[in-house]
Amino acid sequence: MTTHPATGEALHTVSVVVNGGLRTAQVPARRLLSDFLRHDLGLTGTHVGCEHGVCGACTVLVDGAPMRSCLMFAVSAEGHEITTVEGLAARSGAAEGDLGPVQQAFIDSHGLQCGFCTPGFLTTVTAYLESNPDPTPDEAREAISGNLCRCTGYQNIVTAVCRAAELIEERGI
């Protein structure tokens, strides 16, 4: 078994499909998925706000379902498919360089201020709208009620969820 050159920790090989591409890395067993994505793969768009599963900033899609990457070990992601905020545009079928509908809706509705919580909302909302394409504002509010945002007071995020549903409909995704 290989060991980490600086820390001497035993390393395990992890292979995951991230944003459509196979990524393989050697990580200690205790490496959090959030750290793996951010620091081993350099996908720093996934943010860490609490590291205890409450804020939702670290939410990524694992096989299409929202998961808190701070509550998963990288080794438990072995063989799974992960979408991070960096992969949302491509996942939505947007042309290279364009934004996905949920991303665009957050811009249109001023659904972000500092942007730190935003990747977690974007992934959560993406998955939500796939199964609930036409939410009412109350349902939209309910859908985002597991993610913390300290900046926006949520109002424009609720608007953004409804706007995203419209954009998805318009784009025929």
Partner 1 sequence: MTTKLFGAPITRREDPRLVSGNGKYLDDLGAGALAAAFVRSPYAHARIVDIDVSGALDVEGVVAIYTHEDLDGAVADRLPLLIPHPALTAPMVAYPLAPTHVKHVGEPVVMVVAADRYVAEDACGRIRVDYEQLPPVVGVEAARAATHLVHEEAPGNVAAHLVQEVGDARAAVAAAPHRLELDLFIDRSASMPMEGKGVLAQWNADDQMMRIYSSTQTATGVRASVAAKLGLPLAKVECIAPDIGGGFGAKIMHPWAEEVLVPWAARRLNRDVKWVEDRREHFISSTHERSQVQHVEVGFDDDGRVLGLDVTFWHDNGAYTPYGIIVPIITSTQLLGPYKPGAYRVEFFSLYTTTVIVTPYRGAGRPQGVYAMERTMDAIADYLGKDRADVRSANFILPEEMPYDHGLLFQDGRPYKYDSGDFPGSLAKLKALVGWDEWADYRAAAEAEGRRVGLGIGCYVEGTGVGPYEGGHVQVETSGRVNVATGLTTQGQGHQTAFAQIVADELGVPIDDVYVTTGDTRKMAYAVGTFASRAAVVSGNAVALAARAVRAKALRLAANALEVDEADLEIVDGIVRVVGSPESAIPLGTLSVLSNPLRYAFDEAAKAATQFAGAADFSKPPVADDEEPGLEGRDFFSPTQSTFANGMHAAIVETDPVTAEITILRYCVIHDCGNLINPMIVEGQVHGGVGQGVGGALYERMVYDDAGQLLNASFMDFLMPYASEVPHVETDHLMTPSPLNPLGVKGAGEAGCIPVTAVIASAIEDAEGFPIRSMPISPVELWELRRRHAAGELPSLRRHTAATS
CA separation (Å) from 172 to 33, 53, 66, 93, 163?
33, 34, 23, 10, 14
Single residue of 10, 29, 50, 107 touching ligand FES by CB under 6 A: 50
Angle at the Cα of 129 from the Cα atoms of 138 and 149, rounded to 5 degrees? 60
Which of 23, 141 has the CB closer to partner 1?
A: 141
Q: Six-digit token pair at 10?
A: 């035993």
**Footprint on this chain of partner 1 (rule: CB under 8 A):** 4, 6-9, 28, 30-31, 38-39, 42-52, 54-55, 57, 84-86, 89, 99, 103-104, 106-108, 110, 112-119, 122, 141-142, 144-158
Q: Does 31 bind ligand FES (CB under 6 A)?
A: no
Single out the residue of 137, 150, 153, 166 in contact with ligand FES (rule: CB under 6 A).
150
Of 77 and 144, CB closest to partner 1: 144
CB count in 10 Å sphere of residue 97: 6
Which of the ranges 110-118, 122-130, 136-144, 162-170 carries the binding residues for ligand FES, by CB under 6 A? 110-118
Residue type, 35: D
Distance of alpha carbon 13 from alpha carbon 65, whole angstroms: 24
